[in-house]
Structures are given as structure tokens and as C-alpha cells.
A = this chain, B = another copy of it.
């Protein structure tokens, strides 16, 4: 405790009091003489009391700046309530949570005082001590289509019902943003994560971290096979098959496929469905009629240009999303290709605009709300479970919405 200072100042005799006539008290022994300067620490003068061999720094009047900065608005805490009522923190905590071991009178008094002081619990402290945030995170690649917003609505319903919060982040179709999002989710200690991958994502290290930490992770829609987690998808193969079959049954022969990147299972499945349908009906599957890639609006235009300018032009195009399909329709109109007679078009997702455009876009409607429900219910189930690494896949069914773009007037 009173460790003897064997440093170089041990034998000092000159004191500041006598030398410069300044009055500085040692903060320990309150002596005035025997105080010596002993360097600077962070811009402040450091002193050494010769008597008690104690180093200290002299802080100037801090009222001016420090107190002004520190004058943060005080949020009333449990301690405030406890103090003003003359009880302990634990009593207040128990009262607020309707715990046992508390008398009705005390409890009512606490509740009244809490309301009076406008107490708002601090979720941070709660989460820290319970290591549970009651928050589920959700990362979606985009907000442009109605698909993800609707999934969010569905998940939100279930989660709020269960007393959970939903924190949404969007990766904006960027792998890097997705990584930083997952890091932020980890840092914020969410209890579970619902994620739909970007079109760029082809490395999954940032996701396997969650399994290591025991945090439930559920993929939906844009899933990948490389990691063993629960997945919620729609029957992409079947939907795709039916869409192409529908085109074939409407007399289309040379059907092209505009697909997504093959890193995504969803793209693979839809491609499989396309091939299966073509095969079943003996239609030729030609590689140059199949395009897979990231379908930004620009890319969709480029691919569309290519397909529509082919020597042997396809008489139908099955696109993997509605925005690409619509882009195709607009290009066809520009080129004077009539829809559906000269070109049939089918999309995927049933965006709002698909019902309103030109002759109406035939498309596959996905059960967006139900996807949200399913993922949310599943993650809540896993939050309380012991084992979380499951590789189950839940498949929801879709509906083919037939509109004018594929109904040939033949």
C-alpha cells in the first residue's frame, strides 16, 4: 500500500511553497510544503509530495468546460427510483418485473414512482447481464422489389407478437456490405439472424461464425448449400417447371432462360426446372439460349438485347425476376416485337408493376408473408433450443399468375 518510492525524487528537499509561493495541497496528507513538480502528464502539471511520497496531478477549475460537456441529460434509472423510495435496487427490479418476493404495496409504490419519474428501462444493461437482446436481425440484399419488404412485414408480425424486436439491415447487393452488416449484428449480440444473400456472395465465412457462437442463423430465398443451416425457400424447381410448361403448352418452342448467378441455389433450382420442362416436352436445350448472371437493370438490358438480336430469336423468355422480364417487354415493344404473339414472357415474384404493364406479365407469385412468418417462427424456436445446426429446408409453394404476356391468341 504505502510502497516506498525508491525513484530519483526520493531525496528532494526544495519545496514549491517556499520557492514560488504557490499553495498546493497534497491530496493525501494535505501538506502544503514539500510539494515538488514532477513532470507533466497529459498536459497537466504533476506533483510529488515529499512527505507521503505521493504523486498527483493538479486539476484546474473544470467547471467551465468539463461540466458543460458532461451535462448530459440524465435518464432515470432503477437506482433513482430506489433512492427516492428508500429501498434497494433489487426490490425495484423485482417490482418492475412482477417477480415474487415482494409485497403488493411496495410493488405498487415502485410502479407509481417509475411512472412519475418517466422511467424507461435500459435494454443495453439488461442485455448485457442476461446476454440476450431480444432482438432478431435481418439482412436483405435490396428494397427495390416488393419481395423483401413483404417478407419483413411477415417476420415483423411474428416477432413483435413474441416480444422480440427486428433490426433490419440491407446489404445493397454488395458482398462487402453484407460482411460489415453481419459484423455489426454480431457486435450488437442479436439473438438470431435471418439472411438473404447478395448476388455477389460466394464465400460464407462470415456466416459460419454464427454457428460457432451458437447464434441461430436462418437463410431464406437466396440460400446457399455450402453451410448447414435452416433454409426457407419456395418450390423453385416446381414453379420454374410449371412456368416453362405453361409457355410450352401455349405453343412456344424456342424458350430462352434469363437466370440469376449460379452461386445462388435459387438460380440453380430455377434452371433445373427450366431444363426439366424443356426435356419433358422434347424441346431443344441450347446453351446460347441460357444466360446466368447478376441481373441489374443494365445487365438485363444487355442480355435482352443479345437474346432479341439472335439470328434464331427465341419466341419466349423465362426470366428469373420480374424486373428483368419487364425490361425485356419494354425492349420488345421498342423493337416492335409483339407480345405475346411473337414473344412470350414469364417472370418471377409478381411485383406490383407486373399486373399493370402492357398486356400484363405472367409471373410466379411467392408467398412473401408466409416466408416471413416461417423464418421468424423458426428462429424463435431455435433461440430457445440447444442444438442449432440443422440442415433442414422448408419449402413453401408458389402460384403461377397467368396474364397477357404469355397467353398467345393462337
Q: Which of B75, B169, B183, B353 contacts A353 (CB 8 A)?
A: B353
Q: Contact at B189–A170, with CB atoms within 8 Å?
A: no
Across the interface, name the chain B residue whose C-beta is closest to A357. Answer: B356
Q: Contact at A128–B124, with CB atoms within 8 Å?
A: yes
Interface assignment of A391: CB less than 8 Å from any CB of chain B: no
Shortest distance in angstroms between A277's beta carbon and chain B's nearest beta carbon? Answer: 28
Interface assignment of A150: CB less than 8 Å from any CB of chain B: yes
Residues in B with CB closer than 8 Å to A356 are 326, 353, 356-358
Interface assignment of A127: CB less than 8 Å from any CB of chain B: yes
Bitwise, A347-362 to B at CB < 8 A (1) or not (0) is: 0000111011110000
Shortest distance in angstroms between A117's beta carbon and chain B's nearest beta carbon? Answer: 12
Residues in B with CB closer than 8 Å to A160 are 177, 180
Bitwise, A304-348 to B at CB < 8 A (1) or not (0) is: 000000000000000000000010000000000000000000000
Q: Contact at A73–B213, with CB atoms within 8 Å?
A: yes
Shortest distance in angstroms between A208's beta carbon and chain B's nearest beta carbon? Answer: 11
Q: In the complex this chain forms, how many copies of it are found?
A: 2
Q: Contact at A170–B156, with CB atoms within 8 Å?
A: yes
* Range, interface on chain A: 35 or more
Chain A stretch 118-173: residues in CB contact (< 8 A) with chain B:
118, 120-125, 127-128, 131, 133, 135, 143-144, 146, 149-150, 152-153, 156, 160, 165-170, 172
Interface assignment of A396: CB less than 8 Å from any CB of chain B: no
Chain A stretch 184-202: residues in CB contact (< 8 A) with chain B:
184, 186-189
Residues in B with CB closer than 8 Å to A131 are 72
Q: Contact at B143–A183, with CB atoms within 8 Å?
A: no
Q: Contact at B122–A189, with CB atoms within 8 Å?
A: yes
Q: Contact at A189–B144, with CB atoms within 8 Å?
A: no
Shortest distance in angstroms between A396's beta carbon and chain B's nearest beta carbon? Answer: 20
Alpha-carbon gap, A122 to B128, bound state (A): 9
Which of A118, A123, A166, A177 has the most B CB atoms < 10 Å from its CB? A123
- List 5 tightest A-B contacts by C-beta distance, closest first: A143-B149, A73-B214, A356-B357, A353-B353, A123-B187
17 A–B contacts from the bound complex (CB under 8 Å): A72-B131, A73-B213, A75-B189, A125-B128, A128-B128, A143-B150, A143-B153, A144-B146, A156-B170, A165-B169, A326-B356, A351-B352, A352-B352, A352-B353, A353-B353, A353-B357, A356-B358
Residues of A within 8 A of B (CB): 72-73, 75, 118, 120-125, 127-128, 131, 133, 135, 143-144, 146, 149-150, 152-153, 156, 160, 165-170, 172, 177, 180, 183-184, 186-189, 209, 212-214, 326, 351-353, 355-358
